[in-house]
Amino acid sequence: MKQLSKILVIDDEPFVCDMIQSILEDEGYQVRTVNSGKEAIALIDKMPDFHLILSDMNMPDISGLDIIEQLKSKNIDIPIMILTGNNEISVAIKAIQSGASDYLLKDENIHETVVMAVKRVFEKHQLKTDLAQKNNELEQKNKELIESNRLKNDFLGIAAHDMRTPLYGIKGLSDLLLDGTKGQVSDDQKTYLSLISHSVEEMLVLINDLLDISRIESGKLNILTAKASLKTLIENRLQYHQVVANKKNIAIQKDYHTSGVFSFDVNRISQVFDNLMSNAIKYSPFDTTIYVSLKQLESEIAVSVTDEGPGISKKDQTRMFGHFQKLSARPTGGEKSIGLGLAIVKKIIDAHQGRLEVHSDLGEGATFLFALPVQNGLKVSYEKFVTH
């Protein structure tokens, strides 16, 4: 290999040095020889650009293994092949364990074996170099991807934040016109204003999801815990969801086995519950039931939301917590989804050191369960969580 052509041969027997030099020079390599370990170290200090060293195992001053250790201490990375007249396998093992790239037996076959051994070491060294280069390239690409992702998150955060203000203005003005305080509006005008208000609400949900994803991926998702009742949170949020469910004649059946008083982030867990309930309503057929359960387990408190919808395929279950994932099931009332909600839910539950599960078979509805650890010393009795 032309790029690895400079070889240093170290042996206290001049005949061995001359013989190996002659063999390797016939193959096109540039070869230097020295007859002692000390001389070799001094030469390498001056000329550390050798591509391979062939060193005798045992020499009067410094052994081949000592040379390996000295080069390591100097951070000189040159592959070393150990030459030995001892054909015991233990000698070869000792050389390799010490850091030798290979070893070569000095016997009657050395004329044939030395060229093959040198090529073998060069190939191994080239492979190591190529792998190191690939790793460096991958590390650089990874840094570029991280920076690109950071810039994307910054852009999403700024764009979403700046869009919220005018949208709130549009919604406020359309609602003001709808309630008639600025004068009477016709039925057609009410219809158009309601569409405007509803469209703005959908946009605000999208923008808030984008802001949350931006915060999460930037490591800025703050969890502010305080002692609160999970039952109270669910009851409050269900007042809103029942109104939406009524439009599809969906009943909500509640099953509480605890008040669930412990420390958690009320706003973020409200966001989790809202998302699971919204999805349950969204994918439930008309005239069905959604079951909401709150139970205490041995060291955690769990909430489940079960619907009677079309269910979720096993394939969809493996990717449903990723960003912008569109699943096979379709909303039953024309509702829209951008595929960010469950990704945010997963991050919030992870930030609480909790767990999130989905249990579903096609045609048999779906159960989403999240469980939060009890971290404030609340004693709870163990009760196996049973879903509907």
**DSSP states of 240-282:** HHHHHHHTTT-EEEEEES---EEEE-HHHHHHHHHHHHHHHHH
pLDDT(363) > 90: no
Mean pLDDT lowest for which of 159-168, 286-295, 346-355? 159-168
- Percentage of the chain lying above the pLDDT 90 cut: 28
Q: What is the model's pLDDT at position 183?
A: 83
Question: pLDDT category, 326, cuts 50, 70, 90?
Answer: low
Residue 316 C-alpha from the chain's centroid: 20
Interatomic CA distance for residues 24 and 354, integer angstroms: 66
pTM > 0.75: yes or no: no
Going by C-alpha positions, the residue among 270, 267, 301, 319 that lies closest to residue 369 is 301
Give 326's contacts (C-beta < 8 A, 6+ positions apart): 337, 339
Interatomic CA distance for residues 370 and 307, integer angstroms: 15
Q: Looking at the DSSP assignment, which residues form a beta bridge with residue 55?
A: 10, 82
Selected residue with higher pLDDT from 296 and 160: 296
- Angle, helix 341-351 to helix 187-217, in steps of 10 degrees: 40
Letter for the amino acid at 261? V
Mean pLDDT, the chain, whole residue set: 82
Q: Please compute the mean of the pLDDT values over residues 348-366 and round it to a whole number.
A: 91
Selected residue with higher pLDDT from 380 and 204: 204
Q: What is the model's pLDDT at position 250?
A: 96
What distances in angstroms separate CA 297 from CA 3, 228, 230, 289, 373, one per listed residue?
A: 67, 18, 14, 25, 9
pLDDT(38) > 80: yes
Q: Do residues 197 and 174 lie in contact, with contact meaning Cβ atoms separated by under 8 Å? A: yes
Question: pLDDT category, 9, cuts 50, 70, 90?
Answer: very high
Length of the chain: 388
pLDDT(153) > 70: no
Mean pLDDT lowest for which of 45-49, 100-104, 214-218? 214-218
pLDDT(349) > 70: yes
